[in-house]
């Protein structure tokens, strides 16, 4: 038999996606009910049946570079109607996470984020770092006075003589962590997406899912403007009948992050360009937006956690719980930091802010390696599908 007809299953890949939540994969007997049931599956080469076949055989190259796995929104219709309980939606979710790990670099970080035994280290590293930052800003009076005197920055002391405070300086010390971290995250995503786009295009061409022979960067970017409204309105998500209760909390979390991103950038400009330090008045419109988004983040992520607990049939692995609890912790510690500050509980405010920074670090630093990376990969895949005239 010619070698081109030989199939070499990647058993390691099967074990990997099984660990990510695809435990029901082997129940599939290829009836194609899932592809028929899916309301957002393309007419040409529909999913997820072909992806279930590839996953069952461990055909990693047919999945990792397949843009169709990102067109699936895991709404649940296919899983509810599957006569064998193979839960294709959960399988594709596991495949997507395996894809995130495949493209993310450095590899040791990707491996650490997916391993629950490494969680204490992921929390401990920023905890130690911010403890050092807390010492510098709160206790290192003489050291900081000498250090910042050379930069023309005055280091002020609290009247009690116990806690030093300088809003500009303490914020600067936080930013020397997150500004380089932001650059790191952008670089990781850029390197991963470069290979990702190349692979999904090659897959689309090979399977006849596009009429484009090459990628025009300008045309690709123009396709993005058509995809953004679809994402913001959750058009694809809302076409599904099952699990529609997930749509509202999912939108709450999405819009919360967008709003908080806007707030962060506004206050960044206000601080560093206009040099107006916080805290800012509760009557400030930007502060209103921050408070509304913070509350929506807590409620939305709380509802998502509740839905996970309520839906006993849905497969929930470590990757799901890690990101859900992290987002909830981010919103809760942020809100408690503000509430304790307004209540005048100084030390409790410092402690809540300390926990808030740890949550931000974990969400931000490990974004390209966690399930949250689907925000980037799905947008790019949907944009390619629009650009490539995927039908």
Domain harbouring 79, CATH code: 1.10.1060.10
Taken in order 137, 141, 143, 146, the sign of the CA dihedral is positive
DSSP 8-state code for residue 281: P
Claim to verify: residue 145 and residue 254 sit in the same structural domain: yes
Measured CA to CA in angstroms, residue 141 lies from 59, 144, 155, 229, 277 at distances of: 60, 5, 8, 51, 20
Choose between 132 and 256: higher pLDDT: 256
CA distance 24 to 80: 13
Q: Is residue 365 part of a domain?
A: yes
Q: Is the peptide bond before 279 cis (omega within 30 degrees of 0)?
A: yes
Could you read off the pLDDT of 363-387 as tens digits, one per residue? 999 999 999 999 999 999 999 999 9
Q: Is residue 77 part of a domain?
A: yes
Q: Is residue 381 part of a domain?
A: yes
Q: Which residue has the tokens 């699936």?
A: 72
> For position 170, what pLDDT does the model report?
59
Band (279; pLDDT cuts 50, 70, 90): confident
Decide which of 40, 73, 103 is a domain's last residue.
Answer: 103
Claim to verify: residue 278 and residue 378 sit in the same structural domain: yes
249 close to 297: Cβ distance less than 8 angstroms: no
Q: Is residue 1 part of a domain?
A: no
Claim to verify: residue 113 and residue 99 sit in the same structural domain: no
Strand-pair partners of 157: 164
Claim to verify: residue 356 and residue 229 sit in the same structural domain: yes
Q: Is residue 28 part of a domain?
A: yes
Q: Is residue 250 part of a domain?
A: yes
Structural domains counted in the chain: 2
Claim to verify: residue 63 and residue 175 sit in the same structural domain: no
Does residue 32 carry a pLDDT above 50? yes
Claim to verify: residue 13 and residue 85 sit in the same structural domain: yes
Closest-CA residue to 144 (of 166, 125, 129, 128): 166
Band (135; pLDDT cuts 50, 70, 90): confident
CA distance 333 to 323: 15
> For position 280, what pLDDT does the model report?
80
* pTM (two decimals): 0.86
Lowest mean pLDDT among 13-22, 204-213, 309-318, 325-334: 309-318
Q: Is the peptide bond before 375 cis (omega within 30 degrees of 0)?
A: no
> For position 142, what pLDDT does the model report?
53
pLDDT more than 70, % of the chain = 88
Claim to verify: residue 97 and residue 154 sit in the same structural domain: no
Q: Which domain holds residue 54?
A: 7-103
> For position 247, what pLDDT does the model report?
83
Decide which of 103, 138, 168 is a domain's last residue.
Answer: 103
Lowest mean pLDDT among 85-99, 154-168, 213-227: 154-168
Mention every residue, 6+ apart, whose C-beta is less than 8 A from residue 70: 96, 374, 377, 378, 380, 381, 382
Mention every residue, 6+ apart, whose C-beta is less than 8 A from residue 121: 112
Decide which of 103, 119, 135 is a domain's last residue.
Answer: 103
Band (4; pLDDT cuts 50, 70, 90): low
Claim to verify: residue 98 and residue 118 sit in the same structural domain: no
Claim to verify: residue 97 and residue 113 sit in the same structural domain: no
Claim to verify: residue 91 and residue 139 sit in the same structural domain: no
Claim to verify: residue 38 and residue 187 sit in the same structural domain: no
Claim to verify: residue 325 and residue 260 sit in the same structural domain: yes
Could you read off the pLDDT of 142-187 as tens digits, one per residue? 554 554 454 444 444 443 433 334 444 457 677 889 989 999 999 9
> For position 138, what pLDDT does the model report?
64
Choose between 10 and 164: higher pLDDT: 10
């Amino acid at each position: 038999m010619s070698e081109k007809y030989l199939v070499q299953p990647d058993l390691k890949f099967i074990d990997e996606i099984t660990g990510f939540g695809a435990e029901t994969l082997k129940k599939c007997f290829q009836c194609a009910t899932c592809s028929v049931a899916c309301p957002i599956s393309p007419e040409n080469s529909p999913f997820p049946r072909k992806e279930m076949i590839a996953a069952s055989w461990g055909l990693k190259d047919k999945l990792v570079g397949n843009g169709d796995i990102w067109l699936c929104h895991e709404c649940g219709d296919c899983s509810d109607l599957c006569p064998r309980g193979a839960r294709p939606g959960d399988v594709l979710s596991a495949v997507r996470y395996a894809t995130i790990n495949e493209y993310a670099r450095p590899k040791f970080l990707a491996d650490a984020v997916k391993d629950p035994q490494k969680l204490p280290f992921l929390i401990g590293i920023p905890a130690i770092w911010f403890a050092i930052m807390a010492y510098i800003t709160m206790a290192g009076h003489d050291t900081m006075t000498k250090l910042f005197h050379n930069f023309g920055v005055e280091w002020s002391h609290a009247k009690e003589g116990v806690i030093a405070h300088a809003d500009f300086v303490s914020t600067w010390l936080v930013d020397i962590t997150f500004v380089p971290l932001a650059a790191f995250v952008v670089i990781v995503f850029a390197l991963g997406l470069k290979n990702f786009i190349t692979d999904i295009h090659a897959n689309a061409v090979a399977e006849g899912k596009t009429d484009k022979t090459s990628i025009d960067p300008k045309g690709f970017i123009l396709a993005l403007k058509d995809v953004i409204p679809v994402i913001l309105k959750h058009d694809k998500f809302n076409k599904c009948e099952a699990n529609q209760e997930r749509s509202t909390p999912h939108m709450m979390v999405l819009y919360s992050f967008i709003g908080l991103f806007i707030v962060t950038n506004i206050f960044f400009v206000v601080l560093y360009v206009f040099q107006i330090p916080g805290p800012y008045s509760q009557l400030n419109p930007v502060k209103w937006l921050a408070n509304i988004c913070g509350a929506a983040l807590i409620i939305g992520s709380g509802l998502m956690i509740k839905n996970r607990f309520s839906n006993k049939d849905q497969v929930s692995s470590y990757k799901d719980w890690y990101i859900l609890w992290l987002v909830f912790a981010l919103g809760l510690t942020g809100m408690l930091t503000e509430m304790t500050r307004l209540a005048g509980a100084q030390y409790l405010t410092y402690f809540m802010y300390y926990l808030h920074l740890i949550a931000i670090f974990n969400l931000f630093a490990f974004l390209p390696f966690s399930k949250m990376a689907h925000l980037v990969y799905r947008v790019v895949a949907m944009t390619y599908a629009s650009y490539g005239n995927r039908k």
